[in-house]
């Protein structure tokens, strides 16, 4: 499938989506957060979103301004003729008035139009104005192909919603490509990154942010974590995108705190935090994350209760969503010769092996919230530790590299083809090819890793490469200075386009406005490409 075929992919009326996504918001946006006007009926001013859409099912999310009963109607047409009705949960303060309704038994490969009604729980006849959206279910027909986007890192380093620049403009560019879904690779919020009203730019001008009370300090309470997720939904571009494109969401460190790991204690010298247990903070962050995103494994009553999962997108694609936070060991110099826990944990590693073996999809995208061969240090509180996998020693695998070596060896010996790694985290875009002939560890088949992001955050210079798995950086675009604001460019997203006839997978690395920077075409079932 090519970009030129976009008009036939969907029948989206952007005008109606924009109107519903902006429901009850004032036209003018100032430096303070816009207030939602209360009316006599429940209001869904934070928009709608869908997530974890498969060939037969999907999740619809909404937030109310008061207690309400969530009702979803779906139809094959925008007129909502012959609509099907789904009764969702009661929304109340226990979930910050958010809720998710699961749709099931949907037709595969079809455009689904939906509208969300919020009903007064004491008088079901009193409903607020419906908010509409649309999504396309995964196709069971190979010939339909698959197109999706990925990126990560939103509102980082103090660069928030800037009304002078039009807010999070990158979502408008992504929406114009009309993808089947969007994979967010983590750092959906920066809970540890307060947003000030203004910031000075190198050229002497001033960056201006929309601000809120919850974003004025590091997040510690459940209310503050919830406020971080609500902050991003103040952006009209994001709400409009959410109403058009379903998402697959994973998390990384900044949903909690920079470079966090289980069991960590925050130093007494960090006076920003009164709560010193990172486990306590992570529990609150996880709850807010589950309330503000439609994630199938985190829904109330879901058996798994976890972030890692596999989303099957028809015969061409399975997406394996990793959680490189919850099960990792403590950050350290990472030079140990034995490391059974690693960055994934033993149980998640076995799950990934099992699901990769079961997959019959042509392509198996491994969605990692951290890169494999790029060195990401952790200098938090003055310590010289390693945050990701690679530790800068190009020799034999050590530390967390041991677990990745085990996985790569498994993929080779089980003859699992079509694995592609996608990630974000490092705030620049690049493409790395991993080749055993260049590596210290050689028992694996060649593969590609593609990096994108940030969506709206500070951009940083390119990370150093670690030679253990033989990466060659084929393309990179990154600034030479640290923490370049979105006004200075260097905001990125990636596109994956799988052709239904040939099975070719095309990766395009794009700039904020959609300009293509780099293209790579991969052939199905072929190794060493």
Provide the mean pLDDT of the chain: 92
The predicted model scores a pTM of 0.93
Q: What is the DSSP letter of 231?
A: H
| CATH tag, 36-137 | 2.60.40.380
Instruction: Read off the pLDDT band of 62 (50, 70, 90).
Output: very high
Given this model, what pLDDT does residue 40 score? 80
If DSSP codes are grouped into helix, strand and coil, which group holds residue 116?
strand
Q: Report the CATH superfamily, name and number, of domain 3-35+151-522.
A: Alkaline phosphatase D (PhoD) (3.60.21.70)
Could you give the residue range(s) of every CATH 3.60.21.70 domain in the chain? 3-35+151-522
Could you give the residue range(s) of every CATH 2.60.40.380 domain in the chain? 36-137
Which tens digit of pLDDT belongs to each residue from 340-352? 999 999 999 999 9
Which tens digit of pLDDT belongs to each residue from 196-245? 999 999 999 999 999 999 999 999 999 999 999 999 999 999 999 999 99
Check: CB of residue 519 under 8 Å from CB of residue 508: yes
If DSSP codes are grouped into helix, strand and coil, which group holds residue 33?
coil
Q: Please, is 41 exposed, middle or buried when counting C-beta atoms within 10 Å of its C-beta (0-12, 13-18, 19+)?
A: middle
Share of the chain above pLDDT 70, in %: 92
In this model, does residue 30 exceed pLDDT 50? no
- Bridge partners of residue 412, in order along the sequence: none
Angle 409-388-222 (CA atoms, 0-180°, nearest 5)?
125
Instruction: Read off the pLDDT band of 29 (50, 70, 90).
Output: very low
Q: Among 113-117, 119-123, 172-176, whose mean pLDDT is lowest?
A: 119-123
Given this model, what pLDDT does residue 22 score? 41
Q: What is the DSSP letter of 47?
A: -
Hey, what are 272's tokens?
């920003």
In this model, does residue 7 exceed pLDDT 50? no
Q: Average of pLDDT values for 249-271? A: 97
In this model, does residue 300 exceed pLDDT 80? no
Check: CB of residue 190 under 8 Å from CB of residue 209: no
In this model, does residue 326 exceed pLDDT 70? yes
Q: Average of pLDDT values for 23-51? A: 67
- Tell me phi and psi for residue 341, to 5 degrees: -85, -50
Instruction: Read off the pLDDT band of 528 (50, 70, 90).
Output: low
Given this model, what pLDDT does residue 383 score? 82
Q: What is the dihedral of CA 308, 321, 293, 134, to 10 degrees?
A: -140
Neighbour-count burial for 490-514, b at 16+ CB within 10 Å, e otherwise: bbbbbbbbbbbeebbbbbbbbbbeb
Hey, what are 371's tokens?
């890169």
CA separation for the pair 25, 485 (Å, rounded): 27
């Amino acid at each position: 499938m090519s970009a030129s075929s976009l008009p036939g992919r969907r029948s989206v009326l952007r005008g109606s989506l924009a109107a519903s996504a902006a429901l009850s918001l004032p036209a003018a946006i100032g430096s303070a957060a816009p207030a939602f006007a209360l009316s006599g009926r429940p209001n869904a001013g934070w928009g709608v979103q869908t997530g974890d859409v498969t060939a037969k099912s999907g999740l619809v999310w909404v937030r109310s301004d008061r207690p309400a009963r969530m009702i979803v109607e779906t139809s094959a047409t925008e007129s909502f003729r012959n609509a099907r009705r789904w009764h969702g949960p009661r929304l109340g303060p226990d979930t910050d008035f958010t809720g998710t309704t699961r749709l099931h038994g949907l037709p595969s490969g079809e455009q689904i139009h939906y509208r969300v009604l919020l009903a007064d729980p004491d008088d079901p006849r009193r409903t607020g104005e419906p908010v509409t959206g649309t999504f396309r279910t995964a196709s069971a027909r190979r010939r339909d192909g698959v197109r999706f986007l990925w990126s990560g890192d939103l509102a980082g380093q103090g660069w928030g919603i800037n009304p002078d620049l039009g807010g999070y403009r990158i979502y408008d560019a992504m929406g114009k490509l009309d993808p089947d879904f969007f994979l967010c690779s983590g750092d959906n919020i920066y809970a540890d990154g307060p947003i000030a009203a203004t910031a000075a730019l190198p050229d002497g001008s001033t960056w201006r942010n929309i601000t809120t009370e919850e974003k004025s300090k590091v997040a510690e309470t459940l209310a503050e974590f919830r406020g971080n997720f609500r902050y991003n939904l103040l952006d009209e571009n994001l709400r409009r995108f959410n109403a058009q494109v379903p998402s697959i969401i994973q998390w990384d460190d900044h949903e909690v705190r920079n470079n966090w790991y289980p069991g960590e204690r925050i130093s007494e010298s960090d006076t920003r935090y009164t709560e010193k247990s990172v486990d306590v903070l992570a529990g609150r962050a996880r709850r807010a994350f589950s309330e503000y995103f439609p994630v199938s494994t985190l829904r109330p009553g879901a058996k798994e209760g976890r972030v890692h999962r596999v989303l099957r997108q028809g015969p061409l694609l399975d997406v394996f969503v990793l959680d490189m936070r919850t099960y990792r060991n403590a950050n350290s110099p990472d030079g140990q010769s034995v490391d059974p826990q690693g960055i994934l944990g033993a149980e998640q590693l076995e799950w990934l092996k099992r699901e990769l073996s079961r997959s019959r999809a042509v392509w198996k995208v491994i969605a990692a919230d951290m890169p494999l061969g790029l060195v990401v240090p952790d200098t938090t509180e003055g310590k010289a530790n390693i945050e990701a996998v690679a530790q800068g020693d190009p020799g034999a695998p050590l530390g967390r590299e041991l677990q990745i070596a085990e996985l790569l060896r498994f993929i080779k010996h089980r003859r699992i083809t079509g694995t592609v790694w996608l990630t974000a985290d490092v705030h620049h875009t690049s493409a790395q090819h991993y080749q055993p002939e260049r590596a210290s560890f050689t028992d694996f088949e060649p593969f590609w890793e593609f990096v994108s992001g940030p969506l709206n955050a500070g951009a940083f210079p390119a990370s150093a490469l670690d030679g253990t798995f033989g990466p060659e950086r084929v393309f990179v675009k990154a600034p030479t200075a640290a923490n370049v604001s979105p006004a200075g460019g260097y905001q990125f997203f990636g596109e994956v386009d799988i052709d239904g006839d040939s099975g070719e997978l095309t990766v395009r690395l794009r700039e904020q406005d959609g300009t293509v920077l780099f293209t790579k075409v991969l052939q199905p079932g072929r190794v060493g490409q």
